[in-house]
Structure 1
Amino acid sequence: MRLEQRLADGDEAALAECYTALGPLVRRHAGRLVPDHAVDDVVQLVFLEVWRSRGRFDPSRGLEPWVLTIARKRAIDQLRAEARHSRRSVPLEDTAGVPDRTSAVDAACDIREALAGLPAPQRQAIVLAHFGQLTQKEIADRLCIPLGTVKARTTRGLRRMRDLL
């Protein structure tokens, strides 16, 4: 029986043979896409997924292209994860250049207090527009009120907040 069919049938020895045969190819492929420190992780994820998704594998279509497709997807996932992580973290040597967030926190507290001082309908319209990212039409539909009412509540609320701030 061919390696492809044995893998599709769930033969664990076939997975080991697949790793022996395709591991270096997957490693080279991943090495072109991700940094060196992430290659081993990507290779491990690829063969884990090969095993887990063996039921979806069609042996007649070829093992190598299927495994390399998985490798490409896992490499992209790795790059995205690293990009998310790098946006969240600041290297220790760069902490001197980090702006002071105290004023932003103070401003957020002031805005929260100003919102609390608004009548409920105005506060609701502003919160849905700015924090819920809804358009005035969407707010009108959600609250079952006319569009003009939403516009008036938002305008009056923002004016009152400006005065409060």
Structure 2
Amino acid sequence: MEVVDALGPRLASGDEAALEECYALIGPTVLAYLRRHVGQDEAEDVLQRTFLDVWRGSNRYDPRQSLSGWVFTIARRRAIDTLRGRHPTVVSVDVLRDLVGEDGREIAERFAWAADLRAAMSRLPDAQRQALEMAYFEDRTQRDIAQVLDVPLGTVKARMARGTKALGELLTQDDPPAMERGGELE
């Protein structure tokens, strides 16, 4: 989220390193999105065209807007172009509706949010991130996490509470959360 969006002004000014960082941060999520819609074989080509368009259009990017959202909008358009290329005369409305929702923003926003969440999770202290990942991505209970990590149940609860709070701050505030200002990390 903030990490990606902080690249926006640099990208808009033509900084090639910002493009590389953007590709590294959200490229995997964009690729997963594209695989879902254009298939494994074409997804990487569409990803390359997407980031080529990002670079070519970087001077048109408004840094006040979400960089992830902008990139996903471009990816969505490239995916639609690819689908249209498969069927030169007619593209099924149902196929496009599955891809873009009613106006295309819904799914792009969902993937942009996922990229923002992944970026925010990567900024959490390892112990908090690990506890949250085990709970939400591996569907483990707090008791199970405590056993796997060989720590008291109260430690897992504290890590998850602090991690959730820090994650909320990362996702909703422009200010860095307390953990980055020297607050308690564990």
- Greater helix content: 1
TM norm structure 2: 0.44
The higher relative CO (CA closer than 8 Å, separation ≥ 6) is in: 2
TM norm structure 1: 0.49
